Amino acid sequence: MIKKSAFSLLLVTLLAACASTPTKTAATKPAPVENMTQPAAATTGAAPESNTQATALNPFMDPNNPLSKMSIYFDTDKSHIKSQYMPIISAHAQYISSHPSAHVRLEGNCDERGSTEYNLALGERRAVAVEKVMEADGVPSSQLETISYGKEKPKALGHNEAAWAQNRRTDIDYLSK
């Protein structure tokens, strides 16, 4: 009888231990994931107290700042920069030229239509078009590099005009500041 009671008590204790779940505390919450799609600006070392302060410290995160726009979009089979993107390119050029440690890669991209060779050449023309505007705005060529990914790095998956329009672009990728 004592053995049955002891066994029952042990079994109940084990089941109770398995059923309990720890409560979430500040120490068990996962760390926030840093957004790696946009560069981080230098901070003063103080943690921002609000999103407003964070965007004031980081113009790349402020949706009202042209520096937060990191892609220049093109029409089908074109490498001509539309006038609506000139202020964005100029803002980046001003930032880059005023930060001598900044180094940027201009990544030309295309939609999935066309041959690999054609799209690589078109992607290169798109990246070079943005590079020329930045250099005209005073950015030293030593701070810029171009590359073409052709159709190999789509932003949007899909086989329709909406996806293709997002993939016809040059991305501005800050490698260092």
Residue 40 has a pLDDT of 38
- Inside any domain, residue 177: yes
Report the share of the chain in percent with pLDDT over 90: 65
Structural domains in the chain (count)? 1
- Which has the minimum average pLDDT: 1-10, 43-52, 129-138, 153-162? 43-52
Range of the domain at 157: 59-69+82-177
- Inside any domain, residue 110: yes
58-70 confidence digits (pLDDT tens): 888 999 999 999 9
142-173 confidence digits (pLDDT tens): 999 999 999 999 999 999 999 999 999 999 99
- Global pTM exceeds 0.85: no
* Residue 98 scores a pLDDT above 80: yes
* Residue 46 scores a pLDDT above 80: no
3-state secondary structure 15-26: HHHHHCCCCCCC
Nearest to 148 by CA among 129, 170, 166: 170
17-33 confidence digits (pLDDT tens): 544 444 444 444 433 33
- Inside any domain, residue 131: yes
- Which has the minimum average pLDDT: 1-15, 68-82, 115-129, 150-164? 1-15
The CATH number that applies at residue 174 is 3.30.1330.60
- Inside any domain, residue 171: yes
Residue 58 has a pLDDT of 86
**Averaged confidence pLDDT in the chain:** 80
- Inside any domain, residue 160: yes
Residue 176 has a pLDDT of 81
- Inside any domain, residue 123: yes
